[in-house]
A and B are shown apart, each in its own frame.
Chain A
Amino acid sequence: MRLLADNLYYEWPQRDGNVQAVAGFTAVFDSGMPQILCGPSGSGKSTAGLLLAGLIEPVSGSVRLNDDTPSVFSSRAAFVFQFPENIFFEDSVVEELNKIAGANRAGVVRYLTSLGISFENIASLHPFHLSAGYGRMVAIALQMAREPSLLILDEPTIGLDWRFHNRMCKVLKEWSNDARILIVITHDLDLMRALDGNACVLAGGRQSWKGPTQALLNDKQLLDQYGLLP
C-alpha cells in the first residue's frame, strides 16, 4: 500500500493575509514499516498530516492512497490530533466508542490493555475528566480499533510518563504492517528510535530530507539543522 503526496500547496486563511503552511510537498509513504514525519516548529507537519488524511483540501496538488482519492479512502483513514480532547463529543468513553463507525469494543480493550489502561475503569468516565495523557491514549486506541488502512498520529507521546511512553512505542511499532500505513508526526527522538522505519523531514512546507530514521538519528548535524535536538 502506498500513499502519495504530489506537489501539495496549502494556505491557512488569516484576517491579515493567508499564511502558507505547505508549499510543494511531494512525498511517498509505504506500508510495511512506520513512517516518521518530522521537522522544525512551523514547518507544516500538522498541516501536511491533515492533507494526507484528506481532512483538508489542498489549494493545488493531489493525494492518492494507491489509486484512490481522499473522497474515496477517507472512511479508511484516521487522524488523531495533537490535543485529542478537541475530538471528544460524547458524555462517556464508552459512548465515544459507540459513535465511532467500525471501532469494536474488543479492539479498544486490546489496545488500551497493551498501553496499560483498563477499559472497564474508564468506560463510564466523561472524556473531559480523563487526564491529558489518558485522553491522548484513549483517542489513539479508539482510532486504532477501526483498523484503518491509513493512521496518522500527531505527536502521540507528548505528556506521557516514562512507562506509558514505552508502551506507546511498542504498540505503534506492532500496529504497523504490510496492509496499512502508519505515519507518526513527532519531534520525540526516543519514539523515532523505537519505531525505526523511514523518516520524511519537512522544512518550509516541503520535504527537505528523506531516508531511514536511523540515518537521521545518527546524524547530529542533520538533527541540529532541522531543530530536532532535544
Chain B
Amino acid sequence: MAELRVNDVTFGYPGASPLLRRISFHITTGETVALVGENACGKTTLLRIMAGLLSPTEGQVTLDGRPGHEFSSRVALLFQNPDHQMIAATVEEEIALGMELRGVDPKRMRQVVDAFLVRFQLKDLKHRSPETLSGGQKQRVALAAVMALKPEFLLLDEPDSFLDGPSRREFRDAVDIVRSETGILWVSPDPRKMPAAHRFLFLDNHVLVECTADELRQRAARDIYATV
C-alpha cells in the first residue's frame, strides 16, 4: 500500500505572506480524504504542490519516502475546469494521449482505451470532440484520461462543483469505480457538498486540522447563520 505524504509544507507566492503554513498529512491507496476550505485559502495551491507542479517554500512531499520529482507520474490531478486539461480532437484520442506521450505500445494502448470507454460509459461519445460535451461528460473524459495512466493517487480539485445534480451523480459514480485502486484527495469549498470519505481535513487560516464530517457541517451552518 503506497503512501503520499505532505511533510511540514509551507508555501507563499512571491511578495505575499505564506498561504500554507507547516501543513502535514498523508493519504494511502484505497482511502478517500476530503479537504474542505474557504475560497482562496490555498486548496488548489496545495494540490499543485502535491502533484509536483509547484515547489514548496519549505518542507516536502514524498511518495513512499521518495521526493516529488521521482514520483510525478504516479500522482494525477483533475482540474476544476476540464477544458484546461483536454487538448485532443476526440474523446478516444484524449484517453490515449497520456499513454502515447509515455510511449506505450500501440496495441496495448488500444486495449486500454477500449476498456476505459466502456468502464466510464463513454463508448457512444468516442468520436465526439471533447469541447462539444456537457460539463459532466467532459469531467468523466478527464477522469478516464488520467486513470488510463494508472496513477496511485488522484487529486480532485472541486471536480463537480459546476455540475448539476444528475451530472454530479454520474461523475461520483465514475469516481466510485476507481476508489479502491487509488488514494483520493477530494477538495471542496463547501461541507454541504463533500463526497463520502474516510477522513476529513479542514484548511483554516493557513493551517490544516483533521476533523469529522459533522464538525465541518456544524461550522458551515454556524457561519451561514452569522452572515444572514
A residues bordering B, Cβ < 8 Å?
12, 14-16, 19, 40-42, 82-83, 85, 129-134, 137, 155, 158-167, 187, 227-230
Q: Is the CB of B39 within 8 A of A134?
A: yes
Interface class of chain B by DSSP:
loop
Collect the chain B residues with CB atoms within 8 Å of residue A83's CB.
Answer: 81, 83
Collect the chain B residues with CB atoms within 8 Å of residue A19's CB.
Answer: 132
Collect the chain B residues with CB atoms within 8 Å of residue A227's CB.
Answer: 164-166
Q: Is the CB of B44 within 8 A of A131?
A: yes
How many chain B residues sit at the interface, stated as a range, is: 35 or more
Q: Given known contacts A129-B13, A134-B39, A166-B228, is B132 in contact with A230 (CB within 8 Å)?
A: no
Q: Is the CB of B224 within 8 A of A131?
A: no
Complex partner residue of A41 from B41, B127, B166, B190, CB under 8 angstroms: B166
| Interface residue B56 (Cβ < 8 Å from any Cβ of A) | no
Q: Is the CB of B189 within 8 A of A133?
A: yes
Q: Is the CB of A41 within 8 A of B224?
A: no
| Interface residue B223 (Cβ < 8 Å from any Cβ of A) | yes
Complex partner residue of A158 from B161, B192, B227, CB under 8 angstroms: B161
Q: Mark B172-191, 1 if CB is under 8 A from A, else 0.
A: 00000000000000000111
For B44, the closest partner residue in chain A by CB is A131
A167 CA to B38 CA, complexed, in Å: 13
A79 CB to closest chain B CB, in angstroms? 17
A166 CA to B224 CA, complexed, in Å: 7
A82 CA to B83 CA, complexed, in Å: 12
Q: Is the CB of B80 within 8 A of A161?
A: no
Q: Is the CB of A162 within 8 A of B165?
A: no
A187 CA to B135 CA, complexed, in Å: 13
A10 CB to closest chain B CB, in angstroms? 14
A49 CB to closest chain B CB, in angstroms? 15
Q: Is the CB of A159 within 8 A of B165?
A: no
Q: Is the CB of A228 within 8 A of B164?
A: yes
- Top 9 A-B pairs ranked by shortest CB distance? A133-B39, A187-B164, A131-B40, A161-B189, A161-B38, A158-B162, A162-B220, A166-B227, A41-B134
Q: Is the CB of B39 within 8 A of A159?
A: yes
11 contacts between A and B (CB under 8 A): A40-B164, A41-B135, A41-B166, A132-B39, A137-B39, A159-B161, A161-B39, A162-B189, A163-B38, A165-B190, A228-B165
